[in-house]
């Protein structure tokens, strides 16, 4: 989950706290809370305001856990032995209070915590600014030869799927899946390489029916809300499609990439770091390998088991890099000199292009042989309409269409008129519409509509007297069309139910078949919707996370839990606080051996810290256990000097080996340590 989605779900109490107590100065400048939370300058400022425990917990999260939901036990294990349990708890509360980490309450009362996926990237950039220095290619590097790339990028594959849905429909069978014949046609049309997608290990609904490429394409369209599912079909959403097509190709690619990343990025922190590192590499010619990324992670101490480097490289390729090749965002190469190492480079980088709206300047090149060429700068809405009135020969960077009699008929059957078709071609033709093409379109369209079939229903009256009384019935005559004979009428399909209601009210009790559903209105009958060429002012923001109703099962369930609004205070972290003698927290002095033991045992229960003075030096120790020995006892724990948390060591002390002590409750009395 990212900040945009989290902020939409955030309880008002927590949102007000962030807006007034922390981010107010930036919000007063007219920017949104989502923009503030993802601003690198703000992030750097907040880092400067953190206390040591907050920084240590955050650093641990970024390096060891990433943006995967975690429980407190996992965090405590990751921060040990640098921090005690109480220090970790306090640091986590500080991050919750600053809106850096978010808490979710499970149904049984336990909590999961989450560092947003875009927050992970921001904090990683701050903590590991020099990471790409390890991504240097070897001195004998030879430019690889491309061995795998996608013919179409994902955004064009999805566009083609939308056109298919508009031309053929996506009707559902009784089991809720697209009808088998339609499904096969769609699968044949899609160019997504299912073999390259296999490594992502996707789990999805109807896996026994939908091929993986089809499931992936439909999942994207559902999450973008370009399709919606009802009982009968996967229905096009014209408003959302118009808004989507009004965005630039760069903005579309970025949105699609973020959806894919949100759904499928591995929970393993090392892979999240590797993905982030790959995102920093520039598009266009900069080849890199999975092995280079893993080696860099090892150099930074993020991965420690060098013997697993080969396995990690293979996993990174299969789970992440090869699916990006399938989507046309990367291509794969091999060295011409031989070797088994795979090389990759970006072809469509999701983060190195602006979000500018698509240009309206692109035009169509209409050829004398009825072929139409569409350069890459043609707006999406123009391509959409062109797919309605012309046959697609090839969809690519420069797409080719063919204007035919059957394609013009398809446009007419989908609600376009002869005049609209000619006007569309004339207004978007770069070099004008050839006269013979205009005449051909007019000739092909001229016979259309002179005869037509319509769906109707026959109303039969038992006798002529009943028919006459029906004609006199108030409210009924508007639904009676042609009279057939003396006692039969044609009724338009959409008028059957309204007329039945009038007859019921008059006490006639008409018999309407139980399975009658009527027919679509003329507007609904047009399967290929008109979009227009410009989005309205209410266009949805492509930067935001959209729907969660897709076929692919998300790897985490945190989205289904309720976000926690209340952040514990320091005293809330210590349920036994009222039972602790005030002197233990206030006085730094010697105690009787029995009292010392009590204090140690209390520290162990609270997972907190003792400060002791030993031979003139102050130490902070996190005790782990008390052992009875030879009529006395000893304390074992992790100790460090009171002035630093960097140098730590295991300590085993008898009670007489230190002179003074006091109990430290982080957040309560740790500010008076020295």
Number of independent structural domains in the chain:
5
Parent domain of 639: 572-672
Q: Which of 64, 98, 129 is the last residue of a domain?
A: 129
- Are 119 and 200 in the same domain? no
pLDDT digits (tens, 9 = 90+) for 200-254: 999 999 999 999 999 999 999 999 999 999 989 999 999 999 999 999 999 999 9
- Determine, yes or no, domain membership for 663: yes
- Are 193 and 250 in the same domain? yes
- Determine, yes or no, domain membership for 119: yes
pLDDT digits (tens, 9 = 90+) for 256-296: 999 999 889 888 999 999 999 999 887 767 899 999 999 98
- Determine, yes or no, domain membership for 567: no
Task: Look at residue 139 and tell me whether its pLDDT is greater than 90.
Answer: no
- Are 327 and 371 in the same domain? no
- Are 287 and 192 in the same domain? yes
Task: Look at residue 511 and tell me whether its pLDDT is greater than 50.
Answer: yes
Confirm if 50 and 58 have CB atoms less than 8 A apart.
Answer: yes
- Are 217 and 96 in the same domain? no
| Amino acid 71: pLDDT | 93
| Amino acid 318: pLDDT | 96
pLDDT digits (tens, 9 = 90+) for 385-420: 999 999 999 988 899 999 999 999 999 988 899 999
Rounded average pLDDT over 94-120:
91
**Which two tokens mark 340?**
């088994």
Nearest to 4 by CA among 171, 82, 110, 118: 118
- Determine, yes or no, domain membership for 472: yes
| Amino acid 546: pLDDT | 52
- Residue 413 neighbours by CB distance under 10 Å: 14
Token pair 């420690």: residue: 304
Angle separating helix axes 72-79 and 52-60, nearest 10 degrees: 100
- Determine, yes or no, domain membership for 234: yes
- Are 416 and 486 in the same domain? no
Nearest to 82 by CA among 103, 55, 101: 55
| Amino acid 493: pLDDT | 83
> Residue 361 and residue 650: Cα distance in Å, rounded?
70
Query: Mean pLDDT over all residues of the chain?
Result: 87
At 354, phi and psi to the nearest 5?
Answer: -75, 170
| Amino acid 523: pLDDT | 39
**Which two tokens mark 574?**
């210590």
Task: Look at residue 643 and tell me whether its pLDDT is greater than 90.
Answer: no
pLDDT digits (tens, 9 = 90+) for 455-466: 788 888 888 888
Predicted TM-score (pTM) of this structure? 0.84
Handedness of CA 39, 42, 48, 52 (dihedral sign): negative
Task: Look at residue 345 and tell me whether its pLDDT is greater than 70.
Answer: yes
Q: What are the CA-CA distances from residue 381 to residues 6, 322, 530 (Å)? A: 32, 31, 9
Angle separating helix axes 180-189 and 212-223, nearest 10 degrees: 90
| Amino acid 355: pLDDT | 45
546-565: buried (b, 16+ CB within 10 Å) or exposed (e) per residue?
beeebbbeebbebbebebbe
Q: Which of 85, 102, 129 is the last residue of a domain?
A: 129
pLDDT tier for residue 537 given thresholds of 50, 70 and 90: very low
- Are 50 and 153 in the same domain? no
> Residue 459 and residue 544: Cα distance in Å, rounded?
52
- In the three-class reduction of DSSP (H, G, I as helix; E, B as strand; rest coil), residue 318 is classed as helix
Percent of the chain residues past pLDDT 70, beyond the cut: 89
- Determine, yes or no, domain membership for 279: yes
pLDDT digits (tens, 9 = 90+) for 310-334: 899 999 999 999 999 999 999 999 9
- Are 159 and 305 in the same domain? yes
- Determine, yes or no, domain membership for 557: no
- Determine, yes or no, domain membership for 549: no
| Amino acid 135: pLDDT | 60
- Are 271 and 388 in the same domain? no
CATH number at residue 634: 2.30.30
- Are 486 and 616 in the same domain? no
CA dihedral 127, 130, 132, 138 (to 10 degrees): -140
- Are 209 and 291 in the same domain? yes
- Are 585 and 660 in the same domain? yes
**Which two tokens mark 332?**
């794969």
Q: Which of 518, 536, 552 is the last residue of a domain?
A: 518
| Amino acid 556: pLDDT | 72
């Amino acid at each position: 989950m990212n900040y945009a989605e989290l902020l939409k779900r955030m309880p008002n109490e927590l949102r007000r706290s962030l807006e007034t107590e922390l981010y107010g100065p930036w919000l007063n400048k007219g920017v949104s809370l989502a923009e503030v939370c993802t601003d690198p300058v703000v992030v750097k400022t907040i880092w400067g305001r953190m206390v040591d425990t907050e920084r240590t917990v955050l650093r641990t999260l970024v390096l060891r856990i990433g943006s995967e939901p975690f429980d407190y036990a996992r965090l405590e294990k990751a921060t040990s032995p640098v921090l005690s349990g109480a220090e970790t708890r306090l640091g986590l509360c500080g991050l919750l209070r600053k809106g850096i980490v978010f808490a979710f309450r499970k149904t049984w009362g336990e909590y999961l915590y989450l560092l947003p996926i875009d927050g992970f990237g921001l904090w990683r950039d701050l903590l590991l600014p020099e990471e790409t220095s390890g991504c240097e290619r070897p001195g004998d590097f030879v430019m690889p030869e491309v061995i795998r790339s996608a013919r179409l990028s994902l955004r064009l594959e999805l566009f083609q799927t939308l056109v298919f849905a508009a031309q053929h429909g996506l009707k559902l069978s009784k089991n809720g899946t697209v009808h088998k014949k339609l499904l096969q046609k769609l699968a044949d049309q899609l160019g997504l390489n299912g073999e390259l997608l296999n490594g992502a290990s996707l789990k999805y609904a109807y896996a026994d029916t939908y091929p993986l490429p089809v499931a992936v394409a439909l999942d994207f369209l559902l999450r973008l809300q370009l399709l919606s599912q009802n009982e009968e079909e996967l229905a096009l959403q014209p408003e959302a499609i118009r808004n989507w097509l009004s965005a630039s190709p760069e903005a579309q690619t970025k949105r699609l990439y973020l959806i894919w990343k949100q759904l499928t990025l591995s929970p393993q922190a090392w892979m999240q770091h590797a993905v982030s590192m790959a995102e920093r590499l520039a598009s266009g010619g900069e080849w890199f390998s999975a092995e280079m990324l893993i080696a860099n992670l090892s150099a930074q101490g993020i991965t420690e088991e060098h013997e697993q480097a080969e396995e990690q490289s293979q996993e990174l390729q299969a789970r992440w890099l090869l699916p990006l090749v399938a989507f046309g965002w990367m291509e794969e190469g091999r060295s011409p000199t031989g070797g088994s190492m795979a090389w990759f480079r970006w072809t469509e980088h999701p983060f190195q292009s602006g979000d500018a709206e698509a240009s309206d300047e692109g035009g169509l090149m209409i050829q004398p042989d009825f072929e139409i060429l569409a350069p890459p700068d043609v707006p999406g809405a123009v391509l959409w309409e062109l797919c309605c009135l012309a046959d697609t020969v090839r969809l690519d960077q420069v797409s080719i269409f063919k204007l035919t009699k059957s394609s013009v008929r398809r446009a007419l059957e989908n609600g376009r008129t002869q005049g609209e078709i000619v006007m569309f071609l004339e207004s978007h033709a770069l070099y004008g519409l050839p006269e013979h093409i205009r005449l051909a379109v007019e000739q092909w369209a001229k016979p259309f509509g002179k005869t037509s079939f319509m769906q109707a229903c026959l109303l039969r009256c038992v006798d002529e007297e009943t028919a006459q009384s029906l004609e006199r019935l108030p409210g009924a005559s508007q639904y009676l069309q042609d009279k057939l004979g003396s006692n039969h009428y044609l009724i338009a399909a959409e008028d059957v139910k309204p007329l039945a209601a009038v007859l019921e009210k008059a006490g006639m009790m008409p018999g309407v078949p139980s399975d009658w559903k009527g027919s679509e209105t003329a507007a609904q009958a047009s399967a290929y919707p008109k979009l227009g060429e410009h989005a309205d002012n209410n266009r949805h923001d492509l930067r935001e996370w959209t729907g969660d109703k897709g076929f692919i099962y998300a790897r985490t369930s945190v989205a289904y839990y309720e976000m926690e609004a209340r952040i514990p205070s320091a005293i809330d972290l210590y349920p036994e606080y009222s039972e602790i003698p005030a002197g233990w927290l206030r006085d730094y002095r010697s105690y009787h051996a029995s009292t010392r033991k009590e204090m140690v045992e209390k520290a162990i229960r609270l997972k907190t810290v003792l400060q002791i003075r030993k031979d003139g030096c102050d130490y902070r120790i996190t005790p782990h256990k008390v052992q009875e020995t030879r009529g006395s006892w000893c304390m074992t724990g992790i100790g460090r000097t009171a002035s630093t948390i960097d140098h730590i060591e295991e300590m085993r002390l008898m009670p007489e080996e230190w002179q003074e002590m006091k109990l430290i409750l982080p957040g309560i009395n740790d500010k008076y340590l020295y």
